[in-house]
């Protein structure tokens, strides 16, 4: 009986490890989607933009597959405590990753539209700068998820403040372009949509960090300030 229990326990551990690694695979694909969408926009590469749009179905399929596996684990294993938190955190994380994939697809669609427009002198510097920050934030959030590192998760969540500041600065600059030269309005509006998509990716990456804290500490920190999280979870500021 004990041997059978050990066997079942090992199988369960392998299943949990499998869904964790699948999340990271999905995250890797989404990271690639963002990188290629930004590159397509900056270089005016229509073919690359179309490729990103086409690959969004792959991201969607991964979400469905992982979600189904999580539901099977809940039904078959009836996990308790930390194991259940892992399954819940995975379900929440893949939802945000799928939405990040949707935002990457939006950027790719803007890239295809902008390829037909006259290129600005600054070569979409706003998107380059904001895109770099957002890509690093998502990468670091996935790295914190892989290591279940709550200190890193809080650190990465803080990056969203910088992304919001960069986004606000980019918006001011883009609105100025439209006011100075109304002929740029169509082009700038497309760039604004791309910048908005990047800002949303930062929000979703921040959500992933919150799920890591929930998974490790069992505490839901949504709608909680970063200062409060650092004080309660990390024991800072006492």
* Nearby residues of 97 by Cβ (< 8 Å), 6 or more positions away: 23, 26, 27, 30, 59, 63, 204, 208
Provide the whole-model pTM: 0.91
Other beta carbons within 10 Å of 5? 9
CA-to-CA separations, 164 to 27, 157, 167, 200, 230, in angstroms, rounded: 22, 12, 5, 9, 20
Domain locations along the chain: 2-232
In b/e form, how buried is each residue of 128-158, taking b as 16+ CB within 10 angstroms?
A: eebbebbbebbbbbbebbeeebbebbbbbbe
Mean pLDDT of 52-64: 97
At residue 1, the pLDDT reads: 43
At residue 2, the pLDDT reads: 44
Q: What is the mean pLDDT of the chain?
A: 91
Tokens of 104: 């990457």
Q: Are 130 and 195 spatial neighbours (Cβ–Cβ below 8 Å)?
A: yes
pLDDT reading at 6 higher than 80:
no
Mean pLDDT of 112-119: 90
Q: Are 206 and 157 spatial neighbours (Cβ–Cβ below 8 Å)?
A: yes
What is the pLDDT confidence band of residue 81, given thresholds at 50, 70 and 90? Answer: confident
At residue 121, the pLDDT reads: 82
- How buried is 12 (Cβ within 10 angstroms: 0-12 exposed, 13-18 middle, 19+ buried)? middle
Main-chain phi, psi angles of 198, to 5 degrees? -65, -40
CA-to-CA separations, 81 to 136, 153, 190, 214, in angstroms, rounded: 32, 21, 46, 12
Q: Considering the domain 2-232, what is its CATH architecture?
A: Up-down Bundle (1.20)
Give the C-alpha separation, 215 to 229, whole Å. Answer: 14
Q: Is 123 left (phi over 0), alpha (psi -120 to 50) or beta?
A: left
At residue 122, the pLDDT reads: 85
At residue 228, the pLDDT reads: 76
Mean pLDDT of 155-177: 94
CA atoms within 13 A on the CB side of 45: 14
pLDDT reading at 126 higher than 50:
yes
pLDDT reading at 18 higher than 80:
yes
Tokens of 76: 């078959």
Helix ranges (DSSP H) in 44-184: 46-77, 81-115, 125-147, 150-180
pLDDT reading at 3 higher than 80:
no
């Amino acid at each position: 009986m004990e041997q059978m229990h050990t066997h079942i326990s090992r199988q369960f551990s392998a299943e949990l490890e499998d869904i964790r690694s699948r999340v990271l695979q999905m995250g890797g694909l989404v990271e690639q989607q963002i990188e290629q969408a930004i590159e397509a926009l900056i270089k005016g590469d229509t073919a690359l933009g179309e490729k990103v749009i086409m690959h969004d179905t792959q991201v969607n399929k991964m979400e469905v597959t992982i979600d189904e596996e999580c539901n099977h684990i809940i039904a078959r294993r009836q996990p308790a405590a930390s194991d259940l938190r892992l399954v819940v955190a995975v379900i929440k994380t893949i939802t945000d990753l799928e939405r990040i994939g949707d935002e990457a697809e939006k950027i790719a669609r803007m890239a295809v539209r902008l390829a037909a427009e006259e290129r600005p002198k600054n070569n979409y510097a706003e998107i380059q700068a904001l895109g770099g920050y957002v890509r690093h934030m998502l990468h670091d959030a996935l790295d914190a998820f892989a290591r279940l590192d709550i200190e890193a998760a809080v650190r990465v969540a803080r990056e969203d403040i910088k992304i919001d500041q960069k986004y606000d600065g980019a918006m001011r600059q883009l609105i100025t372009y439209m006011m100075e030269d109304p002929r740029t309005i169509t082009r700038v509006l497309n760039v604004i949509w791309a910048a908005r998509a990047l800002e949303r990716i930062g929000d979703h990456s921040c959500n992933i960090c919150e799920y890591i804290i929930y998974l490790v500490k069992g505490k839901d920190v949504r709608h909680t300030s970063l200062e409060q999280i650092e004080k309660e979870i990390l024991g800072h500021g006492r």
